[in-house]
Amino acid sequence: MTPFPLIVARVYVSPDSLIGTRLLVDRLWPRGISKERLRPDDWPKDVTPSTALRKWFHSGSGDWAEFRERYEAELASNPTAVEHCVGWCRKGPVTLLTAAQDPERSHAAVLRDWLEARL
């Protein structure tokens, strides 16, 4: 259980409805969103899925379970980047922002679960 809320939200929701620190967890800047509107507190690209993994998953070649497993392996191999995000989570509520159409079935949800397990 995390000491503070750790939620996943789409970048397209009103920034005023988001709580705590806003971390953009997509490797690419979301289409149609200005930096002034989104105003992320941090953009830790090192915790996002690699370009190869992202392309593999979005090509339709892989299934959700395998994507999750591969992404968790990438997170495990990058403890410094993960610890950077954990540091934000220890300070207060965090919202992980993604442009994914289904945030609960995206890398952001995997990252949330990974971070929660480390808190």
Helix 51-58 to helix 64-76 angle, to the nearest 10 degrees? 180
What's the number of domains the chain is made of? 1
Single out the residue of 114, 101, 3, 2 nearest to residue 48, CA to CA. Answer: 114
pLDDT for the residue 111: 98
Average pLDDT score over residue span 23-46: 94
Looking at the domain assignment, is residue 66 inside a domain? yes
pLDDT for the residue 2: 62
What confidence tens digit (pLDDT) does each residue in 41-85 have? Answer: 999 999 999 999 999 998 887 789 999 999 999 999 999 999 999
Looking at the domain assignment, is residue 79 inside a domain? yes
Average pLDDT score over residue span 5-34: 93
Looking at the domain assignment, is residue 10 inside a domain? yes
Domain span at residue 38 reads 6-118
pLDDT for the residue 45: 96
> Is the confidence at residue 39, as pLDDT, over 80?
yes
pLDDT for the residue 53: 95
Average pLDDT score over residue span 28-39: 92
Looking at the domain assignment, is residue 71 inside a domain? yes
pTM across the whole model? 0.93
**Integer Cα distance of 26 and 9 in angstroms:** 12
- Within 13 Å of residue 83, how many CA atoms lie on the same side as its CB? 4
